[in-house]
Chain A
Amino acid sequence: MLDAPVKQHLIDPEICIRCNTCEATCPVDAITHDDNNYVVDAAKCNFCMDCIPPCPTGSIDNWFVVNKVFSIEDQFSWLELPPKPPEAETSTADALDDEAQHLLDEAHTGAGGHVPAPASAAKPRINLFNRAKPAIATVTGNLRITAPDTDSDVRHIILDFGTVAFPLLEGQSIGIVPPGRDANGRSHTMRLYSIASPRDGERPNTNNLAITVKRVHEPRDDGTMFAGIASNFLCDLTLGATIEVIGPFGATFLMPDDPDADIVMICTGTGSAPFRGFTERRRRTASTPRGRLHLYFGARTPGELPYFGPLQRLPETLIVKELVYSRIPEQPREYVQDRMRSRSASLAALLAKDTLHIYICGVHGLESGAEAALTDIAANAGLDWSALRARMRAEGRFHVETY
């Protein structure tokens, strides 16, 4: 265990002003000080994050992955932080617990490598609540957003945190652990859901968030029906019910705050959730943005396209809506990548811009179709997509979250 790389919480002595706020806040007395420095005892810190928001300086927010932890005495002696271990340089933790990190690592594999957050993204808070100490949310909305006559039951669920602060950014996820036990008597595994609302709530300055949940209810090979435990639990929630929420998670799949950024958002189904958050954020903050949003959104039919109604009301100046349907009777099936190809001029122009950010979110496989289209469009414009993608990835401008 000693030599296994571990994450260590450290305070930057050059920036810390010794205000004692962190020490006063820490619920497990992990923070202490001498005449020199305020330091964190790695043996006690449980990453509860209580000390992070109240710190006035930002000196508190340092995380090193180390093979051997720095002792309190080491830290007392510092005039500045030691050089950050190189392996930690490249990774931006999406979560501080392995369960959520693992889920997000999986979801992000489609990007083909590590992607940092966009340069102008706000600093995310992660892991403020964990399994042991979840936030309690009240269900204040549970609305079906697909047509009643379709098989697809997608719900827009609003969770209100009352007075508990649950700071979040668009593109982040929350974790839900369905109540009860599995067949082996263990608690259920956590599910991640992308947040579908912007950082200041469903309506501005409300302390709530929305998630988009599709009820999983499908026939198994043996003919019986499989009912997703978490999705059914969520979709069946009644108003006023309380549930436990973990998170927030995600430190890379974030939107740029830069109003000049062009954002191409490619999604299917509930993959639209983060993009609803992006869109609302952009709509509320930038009255005359120079950058635009481009949504490539695929569904079987308009009735099965989540948020179909609200999307119609968004102005073209804000967002270019490319709604793509694969099951319209008597029409050829069109998929997202098909529409992208038919908009190659527009997309090629965007690919040339350094302000372009591309996000792909939906079921596994979506990214390969989208990338094939992008490769062609790029080639026609004289660009090498794989090189461009590598650059965009390194600059935090190409993100994939599929599952």
Chain B
Amino acid sequence: MDAMATRTLIDFRTDPTCYKHWRIEFDGPVAHLIMDVDPNGGLVPGYELKLNSYDLGVDIELHDAVQRLRFEHPEVGAVVLRSGKDNVFCAGANIRMLGQSSHGHKVNFCKFTNETRLSIEDATENSGQTYLCAVSGPAAGGGYELALTASHIMLIDDRKSSVSLPELPLLAVLPGTGGLTRMTDKRRVRRDLADVFCTTEEGVRGKRAVAWRLVDEVIPPSAWAETVAKRAREAAARSDRPRDAKGIALTSLERRIDGGSIRYLLVSVDCDSEKRRAVITVHGPTEPVPDSVDDAVAQGAEIWPLAMARALDDAILHLRLNEPELGLWVFRTEGDPAAVLAYDAFLETHATHWLIRETTHFIKRVLKRIDVTSRSVVALIEPGSCFAGTLAELAFAADRSAIFAGEASGDNKPPATLTLGAANFGTYPMGNGLTRLQTRFLGEPQSLAKAQTAIGAPLDAEAANDMGLVTFAYDATDWADEIRIMLEERASFSPDSLTGMEANLRFPGPETMETRIFGRLTAWQNWIFQRPNAVSATGALQRYGTGQQADFDRNRV
């Protein structure tokens, strides 16, 4: 049943020469990101990607394209999402794919697609690369959810094209890729109209779609091409991206998988399936910071922060999808904390440079992935580690952390320290809009203030513990045992309850659209994904396409 997770290794690495489902066309400062799904190009057999419907494979390409547009195309100030098919924009996630997928795959698929959609909005908000959406043909379900990520939605008024969220009436599930949330939180659609919209299978088109705030404008076919081009040019003109800069190539990410060992240049992962644990070690920089920002551009994807983040990103995605039984992730770092801080300083100095800006936002997004990963995360701050500045965020992202106190006997590694940097105080906000430290010290503003005074100073175990920056500090006597017991205990709990507990504890404080998507919408969707009304043999997902209606258990729960 769980074909995705066990039989096929899902590889998130791709590039435009391998795309089956998307193409990018460039027109000066405007890029057209065109969805043209190959019906026979599904990730696994068993379904056909008709009508521009998508599976994880399609979304992996989309994610890659969005990423590349930011790094490889500084000249692009506006991206138009559109369909390469004549008769449909996008029919959303492929139903038969969902029907045949395991629960775990569905959840991870939705999580990744949600992250990709947020990354599109991130580009618009933070990179001067504005996404517009040109909807021609029906945009149904996930198709409309994709459109919702754009800052400006244009709908062709050809009386056939419509936007809809038919999940509830058609499939007995929710528009779970942010659909419900973006409607109310982003587009501020009236809740009663949203209710009508989400229960009307065929959706809404034409003027009503504008009146209900579902799209920004409807355009007659005769003015379509011209208006879309005009809006894109206008958006591009507002961009602060350098028109004449040259992008960097996101070169193919080197990765070697050998049994339980996964090796990138700057990240290594050691999987222990018996202990149901993965140890992720991030290596600090070994090269000195570039002399100049031009030098950084010349280094391209090889520059440490970017190379590290790309490897870490891939490792996270790989472990999520391909190693579902490894329920515990242990974060380690190796390297020189000062070198990490030096890179942080470089990033800070050149923060307004397009490439540097892209790099910090990318790191931000990788760290966010950890926040929403349904694995127990533990950070171990050991001698020789470099939890400083940017990498210290790994410790703050973890559910708990432990620092090694004092010297370890028998090696000459420098003692374990935790070093705060400016990066810990605003560069990498979480989904709730706060930094990890703000979130950590929600009830202790004085602790946050105190931490700020310690920027740049390596904190030993005692200091870090005193300041509330770590969970435990163990010395050489206790370390091995305590850590072993902690990890073994963690691995013994029910994975479901851990996931639930962690997801709740990680996001205290204010709600944002993002936290509502991952917390509220996703949680309800995942509940529905477990319910017979959706997934049993006579449920709506299984019955879809057979012509037979689902048999519902009519009890309200």
On whether A and B touch (CB less than 8 Å), the answer reads no
A residues sitting closer than 8 Å to B (CB atoms) are none
